[in-house]
Amino acid sequence: MKLVTAVIKPYQLDAVKEALHALGVAGLTVSEVQGYGRQKGHTEVYRGAEYTVEFLPKIKVEVLTDEIDVEKIVDAIVTSSRTGKIGDGKVWVTSIDEVVRVRTGERGLDAL
């Protein structure tokens, strides 16, 4: 089993969600996070005082899946969240040892 994690721009969330839905992904977890990559932050000016805000608001999307679907899911996320501008985010895949469905106690692929 794999965990696909994507950090994307907040306003790309709907597009990613729809792309994953079209693939038949049953569930996903979304959290609001902050961070920066190569683009660093942005500058805000209040009454002439300039503040550099390094951490930008981002959305983290997490999808648990079996190994067969990983590529399709990664492609769907990358395609749907790409704007071509700096700050589009990252997608990474990690291996998962075990998954348990809390309601039934099912384990492994049955729990996905």
Partner 1 sequence: MEINTGNTAWLLLSSALVLLMTPGLALFYGGLNRSKGVLNMMMMSFSAIGLVSVLWVVYGFTLAFGVNESAGLQNIIGNFDYLGTDVAKISEEWLFFGANTGIPTYAFLVFQMMFAVITVALISGAVSDRMKFGGWVLFALGWFSLVYIPVAHMVWGGGFIGTTIRALDFAGGTAVHINAGAAALALVLVLGKRIGWPKENMRPHNVPFVALGAGLLWFGWFGFNAGSELTVDGTTVIAFINTQVATAAALLGWVAVEWIRDRKPTLVGASSGAVAGLVAITPACGFVAPLPAVLIGLVAGAVCALAVGLKYRFGYDDSLDVVGVHFVGGWIGSLAIGLFATDAVNSGITDEKILNASNGLFYGGGATQLLRQFEGSALVTVYSFGVALVLALVLKAVKLLRVSEESEVGGIDIAAHGETGYEFTPAAGSGNGGAFALAGIGQKETVDADGKASVSQKVSG
Q: Which of 24, 27, 38, 47 binds partner 1 (CB under 8 A)?
A: 47
The whole-angstrom separation of Cα 64 and Cα 5 is 9
Q: Which CB sits closer to partner 1, 51 or 92?
A: 51
Pinpoint the alpha helices (H) of 1-112: 13-23, 70-81
Number of residues that bind partner 1 (CB under 8 A): 16
48 counts as binding partner 1 under rule CB under 8 A: yes
Name the packing angle between helices 13-23 and 70-81 (round to 10°): 150
Interface contacts to partner 1, rule CB under 8 A: 10, 32, 34, 44-55, 57
